Each structure stands twice: as structure tokens, then as C-alpha cells.
Structure 1
Amino acid sequence: MALVFRSIEESQPGPKLAGLFSEYWPAYRKWWAREGYSARPTYRECFRALKQHMPEIFPLYEEVVELVGGSDSQARFLSFYCPPKYLSGCSQAIWRGDTPFLVRNYDYHPRTFDAAILKTEWAGRRVVGMSDGVLGLLDGINDAGLVVSLTFGGRTQVGLGFGVPLILRYVLQFCETRDEAVAALARIPCHMSYNVTVLDSKGRYATVYMAPDREAVITDQPVATNHQAAVEWSSHARFTATVERERFLLQRLTLHSESESRFLDTFLRPPLYSTAFNAGFGTLYTAVYRISDIKLSLLWPGASWELPINGFTESTRSIQLPVSDK
């Protein structure tokens, strides 16, 4: 199947963002309400949670809610507060050479994916990243050279907290350094377990293990796959080969002397690259975030796309996904 990616630039929330939301809202609503509307927090509960934990983002949230229609269900969805469960695969690593960068594979189902790269200047901060639910981000970089990216943490526990894509958006809107980002990630409650890797303009990095039922753990790990300190969901770990992928990446970073291009090429081949699209864990894109020139590069087998924060242009790319092997 072909997957069409779009790059969209709109400094402030406006018709382009509203159009993107309108296009995906039927699918968003179906997913968000699949357990019934009563299973999701009320608007008042969402309001209070946002005001308590991310008050700086609240004016932006209200503006976007009004822009897309302002219904009760839209407002609750866009708060990202206590959404339904969602799982992904993903591998990510920090290249720690003279010009550090973050590279990640995003493994998910192609039919539940925005496939939109947004460049925004909300609250005076320029951000480029991969959209999720319009307000959220799967990964991104801001004009201070701060990069964040997520992987699923390999645990089934669900609790009171926010969907991690909104937390990443918050970090990129209001943080500039690794320490600021780590403090925010450790403070804001997350509804499931995720690993968030941070890299700043000075090459400082960290990976934060977020969870709904215990305090966040801050590590100096340059690699994250789909478990945290130890495997806690064995069947998921076997299916996604999370331990094998982590070992593979650590070996490439510590035991092998490889060029940047050779290291990047490993993300486009097994065991990091997955064609399990029917099972919801196929690699939809490889993202490379370079802090030296504040640029996103998207990679696929046989294709690439450069999206610098300065010189960002609107375009589309049609990517033919390989035949699924699972």
C-alpha cells in the first residue's frame, strides 16, 4: 500500500490545522469513544488536569478547540487526558559523534497515523515534528535545537495521565535544554509507560522511563526500544524483539566503529526495520533529527526527504510500503 506524507507549515492555528483535524476527526472520534463516552474523563476533569499539570499550554489548547468546532467530545479528545490504550513498536538512538543526532524508527499501523509533518510557531516557538492527533507529536525539534522522541515502554498498566504525544508537544513548546525537558517529563503524569529520549543543542541527552504507576526514571541511556529497565510484558517483548533490537543498537554504538551513514542504514534493515504492517508494527518512517543545523530528515528504503526548520517547504511524498511479512 502507498502512504502519503504531507509537510504543512502554518505559524498559528488556522485553516490548515482545522482542515487536518476535520479530515481525521471521524477516525479520531471512533478510536477515542470505542469504549463509550462515559469511559473517558469529562470536560471538567480534562480542564482541571491541563490547568494543574500544563498550564502554559492551556491558551493554545483553548484556541485549537475553538478552531476545530469546540464540541464537548473534541475538547475532551484534544486534552489527551486519559485516552484509550495505544501501543507502538519503535527504536531510537543517539549518535554521539562530533555532530550528535537522534535517529528513530516509528513502528505502527499505517491506517491509524496522521502522516503529517507540521511546522508551527505557536507561542513564539518554532517547532517541526510528526503530528499525532493534531496537537500531539511523536517526535520533533524546536528552534533551540531540542529534540524529543518516544517509544512504547512495554507495560500494560494504565493510569490517570496524559497521552504522551501532548507531553512531547509541551516539552518542545516550553523547554530549551535537556534538564528542562527531563524535569517536565518527570513531573507530568503519563497514562501509560513510554520511553522518551531527549537531545539538546549542546549534545546532552537522556532517556526518561515514564509510567502511570511509579515515578519516572531518568537514565543516560542513548538507546530506547520497547521495554524499560527490564522486560515486564514478555509476550510483547518476544513479538517486537525489543531486547534484541536494544542489544543490536548498543553494539553498533559501543563495539563497532561505523560511519554515520552506515549507522543510519541499519535503521532501514532488520532487525530494526519491520514490515509487520498488518500486525500494527511496521516501520512507517525513519526520522533523523540533527541539532547542528536544526533539521529533520525522513528516510525510507530508497527514498529520503529533508525538512530543515529554516527553509521548510510544503510538499507531499508517496511512499510504497513493502508487503507485510506478518
Structure 2
Amino acid sequence: MQTVKSDILTHRGSHFDLGVQTAQWMQQTPLLKNREKEWKKRMPRFDIHIKETYDIFQTYAPQIWEELRGMQEVLNLPTRQMILNFAHYRFTLLKNSGCTVYLGQDYMVRNYDYHPATYDGRYLLFQPNDGGLAQIGPTSRVTGRMDGMNEAGLAMGYNFMHRKHPGDGFVCYMIGRLILQYCKDVSEAIKLLKEIPHRSSFSYIVMDKHLNHAIIEITPRSIEVRYDHTCTNHFKILTHENRNYTKESIQRMERLVNQTTSPLDKKDAFTLFNNPKYDIYSKLFKSWSGTIHTSMYEPQSLITHITLGENKAPTKIDFQKWLDGEPLKIKTLSGEIDTDLTFATY
């Protein structure tokens, strides 16, 4: 068991200036060096096209391109290397992952299951002044988001399905960022997901302040929407797209359904996900599917909860108060994870 920590950062201002702040934070960590080591171990299974990537960002996310420019200003990296590490377009995931989501009456709770070496260790509150919605949540691969909530009360998480037959498009963590950046409700999220190109197969789970919710099943070839309360790592509609081995995902789904037959209050739901004795929390870190954090989002109040590791009361953050100008007093998150594998920023 080891103690792990995540920085909590805040930024009010432009995307370019956020990029500058992000790059300065990165310079204080070994994240970029660790990323370069990963590329040396395995060659990218995709091409880098600078103009194509620039054009796609100008179409869907011009502000995020400005964030990349701000990072490049500090890091002084070639554009090709910036795109490779931070643009997250045309990238192929090489490992499996887990993740479990439950949509309660007025909240969404989620376990993020993956490999600690890929985890940024950065939780960000960002209020832009040059376009896009303010957002809160853990960052993924620096510019992306694996879950979070925006100022309109739209909460988002995603679950991996498979990496078969990838297409040209955005990867999951940049898609998560696009949802939070530009969508105010479930219908806008579905519309965006139908428009943008997708690299791999995922389910995106969304809930808005009106308590509408949806699970959007996506591959590079098709999109279907279901209205359900649980999601693990297999499709329920696009079943022909499922990977060959779904036994563990189906069993985890059954355990989740069996333990949520009656409505759960927020505290009990968080405990269900975060305490290993209920068999939703996973310790399969070396298989790229151990639970790194448990998060909960309340769309109507804009309150978030997050815990690193297992069996710990969550840290509560009132996003609305921060949006109204109240400074955030906490600077770090910490928790216990039962593995000797370390974060990318260690």
C-alpha cells in the first residue's frame, strides 16, 4: 500500500494562459520525461498530420488549440511532438481498462480504472474568459478529461469497450474534454458525439442539471443511445462490437445491479464504489484496470466529490462557490493505493 497524491490547480483566464500554467506545472514533474520513455518502448500506431490536426481543432475546438500553443510557448517543443503528446487525435489505445458508472437519482458516481503510470495526478478547476464552459475534474494526458462536470451542470464519464478496427478521430480523453467544454445538457452532448470523428470504441455517460441522463455507445462506425443507470465495459446495444472477452465486465455489472436494486443515497453509493469489499473497486493495477479514483458529481448543486485510492471519505468541492469567486482552500488530494506502481508525475 502506498500513499499517492494529486495536485489541485485552478485557473481563471484564457486557454493560452492555461497552457502556460500547465506547462510550468509539468516542468516541476517528470511527466514529460516519463511520456518520452513510453514512446521509446512502443512506436505510435498512428500517423501525425500537422495540418489535418490543426484543421480539425479549428472546426471543433479552436480554444483548446490555443491551450496547446500556450504549452508550446513554455515547453519549446516542435509542433509534431506537441500533437503526439497532447492533441489526442488519431491515437490508438494499447491496453485494456475497466471503469464503472452508476447514475443515481441526482448524481453520477464513477470509478476510474486504469494504470497508475498513465495518471496525471492533477485535478483542475478552469474558468475560461475566451469561449467554452468552465469545468472541474481530473485531467487525463494533460489536456484531456476522463470525467468531470461543467458550469452548466453537465457531468461526464466514459468507459472503455474495445480497440478493434480504430478509425481516424479524437480519443476518449479529448472527447471527454470536448463534451465538458462545449455542451450544456445531454441533448447537446449526444449531438456533438454524433458529429465528431472517433478513434476507438467507448461508452460516454452523461447527466445534466435537469437530471436527464444517457449512455452513448460509440464505435468509429456507429452510435447508439440507451437510457440506463449502469455501465461497465461492454455494449448493451452494439453487442456485435463487443470484444471477445466480456465475462469480467458482465460479472461486475451484475454485482453493481444487484447492489443498487433500491435507490442509494450519495454516501452509500460512494462507499459501494470505493470500498473493495463490495467488489466494484478493482485492484488489478498491473492489468491496466485498477481503480485510481472514485468521483461523484451532483449536477444541480455543482458539488463534486473525489477520493484517490480505496476506502476513504471523499473530498468535497463546491464548484459553484469557486465560480462565484471564492478561492479554493485545498491544494492536494491524497489516498492509499494497493500497488507499487507510481503515477506519471512521480
2:117 partner SS: coil
1:202-232 Cα shifts (integer Å, max 9, x gaps)? 10111111212x1211211222111112372
Give TM-score, length-normalised by structure 2: 0.83
Equivalent residues in 2 for 1:1-326, closer than 5 Å = 1-12=2-13, 13=18, 15-22=20-27, 23=29, 24-32=31-39, 34-36=41-43, 39-55=46-62, 57-72=64-79, 73-86=81-94, 87-96=96-105, 100-122=106-128, 123-124=130-131, 125-212=133-220, 214-229=221-236, 230=239, 232-235=242-245, 237-238=246-247, 241-253=248-260, 255-268=261-274, 269=276, 270-299=278-307, 300-309=310-319, 310-311=321-322, 312-322=328-338
- Tell me whether 303-312 or 157-166 shows the greater mean CA deviation: 303-312
Flag the 1:193–1:19 CA change in 2: closer, same or farther, 3 A.
same
The RMSD of aligned alpha carbons is 2.4
Q: CA deviation at 1:278?
A: 2.2
The one-letter amino acid paired with 1:48 is D
Give TM-score, length-normalised by structure 1: 0.88
Flag the 1:107–1:191 CA change in 2: closer, same or farther, 3 A.
same
Flag the 1:158–1:38 CA change in 2: closer, same or farther, 3 A.
closer
The one-letter amino acid paired with 2:78 is S
Q: CA deviation at 1:8?
A: 0.7
Aligned partners of 1:42 and 1:76 also within 8 Å: no
- Tell me whether 29-38 or 277-286 shows the greater mean CA deviation: 29-38
Q: Distance in 2 between matches of 1:227 and 1:38?
A: 24
Total equivalences in the alignment: 316
Flag the 1:131–1:243 CA change in 2: closer, same or farther, 3 A.
same
Q: CA deviation at 1:15?
A: 4.6
Structure 1 unpaired stretches of 5+: none
1:166-199 Cα shifts (integer Å, max 9, x gaps)? 1111111111111111111121112111111011
1:10 partner SS: strand
1:293 partner SS: coil
Structure 2 unpaired stretches of 5+: 323-327, 341-346
Flag the 1:281–1:201 CA change in 2: closer, same or farther, 3 A.
same
Q: Distance in 2 between matches of 1:67 and 1:222?
A: 43
1:221-267 Cα shifts (integer Å, max 9, x gaps)? 222111112372233x23xx2112222333444x3354432232211
Aligned partners of 1:32 and 1:83 also within 8 Å: no
Q: CA deviation at 1:74?
A: 1.2
2:159 partner SS: strand
1:157 partner SS: coil
Q: Distance in 2 between matches of 1:34 and 1:190?
A: 25
Flag the 1:34–1:40 CA change in 2: closer, same or farther, 3 A.
farther
Identity %: 22
Q: CA deviation at 1:32?
A: 4.9
Q: CA deviation at 1:56?
A: 5.8
Flag the 1:137–1:319 CA change in 2: closer, same or farther, 3 A.
same
Q: Distance in 2 between matches of 1:242 and 1:272?
A: 10
